[in-house]
Structure formats: C-alpha cells, structure tokens
Amino acid sequence: MTNLAYLSATELAPLLKSKQLSPVELTKKLLNRIDKIDPTIRSYITPLHDLALAQAKKAEKDIMQGHYKGPLHGIPIGIKDNFYTKGIRTTAGSTLFKDFVPNKSATAVDKLLAAGVIMLGKLNMHELALGSSGTNLTFGTTRNPWDLRYMPGGSSGGSSAALAAGLATLATGTDTFGSIRLPAAMCGVYGLKPTYGLVSTYGVFPSAWSLDHAGPMARSVSDLAFMLNGMAGYDPNDPTSLNTPIPNYTTDLTKGMRGIKIGIPMYYLRGLDSDVEKLFTNALSVLNRLGAEIIEINIPELTMSTFAGYSIVGSEASAFHYEWLKTRPTNYAADNRIFLLSGTLTNAPKYVKAQQSRRKMVEAFHNSFNRVDLLLGPTIPFTTPAFTQNWVEQNLAVIRRSLPFTVPATLTGVPTLSVPMGLDRSGLPIGMQFFGNHLREKLLLQAGFAWEHVNPFQYKLRID
C-alpha cells in the first residue's frame, strides 16, 4: 500500500471492490501528495479537496452497501481544465476565462462521474489548448516531473505531469495538434486519441471544431481501456458524435502481437534525433520478436500534414476567438496571439486546398490499412526540450517540429495510441505511437498492452 499514488486503476479496482482499500484513504493520499508536490509541478489549476473527499465518502458508502459500479468506482481522476464542470471554475488555461463557472458539465465528465470516479481537480494546460510546451503565464507553467527544467508537453501538460508525478490515477486530455500524445511521450505515460467522434466533445472548449478530440490518459494501457469504456458513446448534443455500437475495450487485451502486420511509413523515419532513432529501431526488433510482421511502406500524402494542419487549425481557432482578438488582444499570451492572428489571414482558397489535402490523406490512410493492420512511428522526432528564456519562439518551434508527426492522425480522424518507448540519455521519456483504422481502438489497445507487458515503465522520479 506504500505506493498507492502509483498503482494503476487496474490494480486499485480489485482492492476497492473487495473493501481492502477505502476510496477515502486513496483520495486523501493523493490530495496530500498534491499539497506537497504540486506547488513545484503546477499540474493543477484548481484542486478540489472538499469535493473529492465528499465524492470519496459517497463511493465508500456505496461500495460498503454492495453498490459497486465497476472498475472506475472510487478511482481518483484529474480533469483537464478545458472540460466544462458544472459549478466549478473552468478556465481553459486562459485569462479570458479565469472566472468562468459553467452551468453544465462536458458529456465526457458526466459519463466518468456516473461511473464513480473521484474528481481531484482541474488540470493545468497550455493556454486555450493551443500550444505544445506547457507554458502558462496566468496559472503557472507546468514542469516535467522527471526533471523540472524540462517541459511536460502540451497542451495536456497538466494531465501528463500529474500522472507521472503520482498526483492522479487517471486524467482526461484533448488532442487537436497532438495534445494528448505529445505530453504523454514527454512524461512517459499512455495517451489515446480515439477515432474522431467516438468520445463526445460537447462541453469542451473548442480549438478547431473539425479536428478536436477528447480522450483518456493513464499510466497503463488497461486503464485507458477502462476509461474509454466510460467515455465513449453517442451524444445527441454533439453533431460530430458517432452513433455506433461501443464494444468492451478491456476484452482481447491479452491476445498479443502474433500475426499483426505493422506498417512503418518511411515518412516517420526522417529527421529523428539519435536517441529517438535508437529506441525506435529497438522497438521494432521487440515487436518482431513478439510475432508482429514489420513492413516498411510509403505514404507520400503525409507530406501535406503541415500545410493542412496549420491552415485548418489556424483558421478555425481564429474564427472562434475573432471577437476577443479584436477587443482583448492583450489577454492572449504572445505565442497564441501570434498564432491566432496569423490564422485570420487564411483565405478561402487556402482553406479549401487544405481540406482537399486532408481528403487525400484520409484516402491514403484507408489504402494503407488495406495492406497492414496498424501503422507505427515515433510520437515526436525529438527528445524533450528544456525550457528556455525565449519561451514564445520555443513553443512555436516545438509545434513546427512535432506537428508533422502528430497532426496526420487528427486530420484523418484515425485512433492513435502513444506509449512510452524508453528513456533518452538524459533520463527523460520518449514515446512511440500506434495508428489504427477508424474504430479499431481494440486492436490498438491490444498492441499497446503487448508492448507494455514486455516494456513496463518505471516511474523513478527525482521529486520522490
């Protein structure tokens, strides 16, 4: 019980169900840890001690009376602060919304609460979910728990840092440019960007409507599966929501890799830092030994990613913020002000060409999945950067380098799973990402589980 903060939901659930562990004991452990460590990490914007303890006491009472809801019941979670939470401040990491208290919760939050999770608080994030470093001038910059000099990634940097530091068992994230997978890679956790529309984004601050995804983050693949069981499903309030049957994502996790064809796009082998290349080469050997068939393939349409991603996200994000940009420009951090103002310059022909490029990428991915079961590449091509004084230029540079690797999955809407691949020579995590065809989350999780089984990740952080 000494490592409660680092046990997975998969490990905690049987203890809670059998009454060997109290949800109150578990919640107090994490709240005390937040009080002790988070002033340095800054993974939370709004901790919710009183609410969390009240929810934990209710969970304990329900479980003691035989009303166990399932594997999420009594499990502590952090909610990224761009998910609406009824009656609780929801800032999107921005001065613009620092006092905003919604009168409803995001559908994904309601579904998780109905499954019995304990909400520890609202997690920090790069302002407006439009950045990759975790810098936040309003609520404090989140630090990477592996080394406080380094960035945790963004925009879900509070989610990844809280998980890595043992300040939450589970966390939610959003992904438009790569904001679940990039911070998962930088902090050594697991992050799933589901198929577009599988998890409702109703009640989530928009970044770019046609690319926004919501999904789970955790310290194990099985925990992601539990979370996806709770989060996925049709939502009539979300016009992008898929009305499709939802399987049990925890079944078939142990089927292994044998016979799975994994395509390695040549595109993902270019421009890799030496540590990333070394770990990825080793990963391919391991997957081959597990029985996967590794096939190099070429998807030339991936070279359209940067143009299409910048054009679509920039224009859609600036459309949402257009009036505030005119009336309250100083309320934006410099990196986002530059990005959003540049987005207003996207003309109709450029936007249409970007969407045409996107359609070609969708077709290319579809054709690729006629040849292979999964695709695989590094999550990002570089190792985690240390913070520099010129944070504006640094954030824009991180986006430029990471976007070609992360945005193809959001442009095409295919599900993508980032898993820890190992540590670089500085002792910081590096990640790789599995891509699946639309609605093939079960196969993605199966592959990720097989990888995790032979490559378990140990959280040996300096903060402890």
Report pLDDT digits (tens) over 62-77: 999 999 999 999 999 9
Q: Give the separation between CA 206 and CA 140, rounded to whole angstroms.
A: 22
- 348-368 and 391-412 helices cross at what angle (nearest 10)? 60
> Measured between alpha carbons, how far is residue 135 from residues 6, 139, 145, 233, 335 in Å?
25, 9, 15, 33, 10
Q: Give the separation between CA 61 and CA 73, rounded to whole angstroms.
A: 11
pLDDT band at 255 (very low <50, low <70, confident <90, very high): very high
Element (H, E) at 160: helix 157-164
Q: What angle do CA 452, 69, 159 make, to 5 degrees?
A: 45
Task: Give the percent of the chain with pLDDT over 70.
Answer: 99
Q: Give the separation between CA 307 and CA 303, rounded to whole angstroms.
A: 8
Q: Is the pLDDT of residue 350 over 90?
A: yes
Q: Is the pLDDT of residue 396 over 60?
A: yes
pLDDT band at 464 (very low <50, low <70, confident <90, very high): low
| Mean pLDDT to the nearest integer, 186-191 | 98
Distance of CA 371 to the CA centre of its chain: 28
Question: What's 303's DSSP letter?
Answer: G
Q: What angle do CA 138, 143, 145 make, to 5 degrees?
A: 150
Report pLDDT digits (tens) over 127-157: 999 999 999 999 999 999 999 999 999 999 9
pLDDT band at 106 (very low <50, low <70, confident <90, very high): very high
pLDDT band at 456 (very low <50, low <70, confident <90, very high): confident
122's tokens: 């609202």
pLDDT band at 1 (very low <50, low <70, confident <90, very high): very low
State residue 92 phi and psi, 5-degree precision: 55, 25
Q: Is the pLDDT of residue 124 over 50?
A: yes
Q: Which CATH architecture has domain 4-454?
A: Alpha-Beta Complex (3.90)
| Mean pLDDT to the nearest integer, 108-125 | 98
Q: Which of 415, 413, 410, 417 is nearest to 450 (CA)?
A: 417
Question: What's 82's DSSP letter?
Answer: T
- Strands 261-265 and 170-175 come out as unpaired
Query: In a 10 Å sphere around its CB, with 0-12 CB exposed, 13-18 middle and 19+ buried, how is residue 18 labelled?
Result: exposed
Q: To which residue do tokens 């019995």 refer?
A: 116
Higher pLDDT among residues 390 and 267, named by residue: 267
Q: Give the separation between CA 464 and CA 461, rounded to whole angstroms.
A: 6
Residues with catalytic annotation? 80, 155, 179
Report pLDDT digits (tens) over 243-252: 999 999 999 9
Q: Is the pLDDT of residue 463 over 80?
A: no
359's tokens: 């359609």
- Residues belonging to the chain: 464
How many separate helices (H) and strands (E) can be counted in the chain?
13, 11
Give me the chain's average pLDDT, please: 96
Higher pLDDT among residues 88 and 460, named by residue: 88
Higher pLDDT among residues 393 and 223, named by residue: 223
Q: Give the separation between CA 108 and CA 241, rounded to whole angstroms.
A: 12
50-60 residues labelled b (16+ CB within 10 A) or e (exposed): ebbbebbeebb
| Mean pLDDT to the nearest integer, 337-342 | 94
Spatial contact of 132 and 153, defined as CB atoms under 8 Å apart: yes
Domain ranges of the chain: 4-454
State residue 79 phi and psi, 5-degree precision: -110, 120
Q: Give the strand order in the sheet containing 118-123.
A: 44-47, 118-123, 76-80, 170-175, 213-218, 190-193, 416-423, 429-436, 374-378, 261-265, 293-297
Report pLDDT digits (tens) over 407-450: 999 999 999 999 999 999 999 999 999 999 999 999 999 999 99
State residue 390 phi and psi, 5-degree precision: -85, 70
Q: Is the pLDDT of residue 462 over 70?
A: no
pLDDT, residue 24, reads: 98
pLDDT, residue 251, reads: 96
Q: Give the separation between CA 410 and CA 180, rounded to whole angstroms.
A: 11
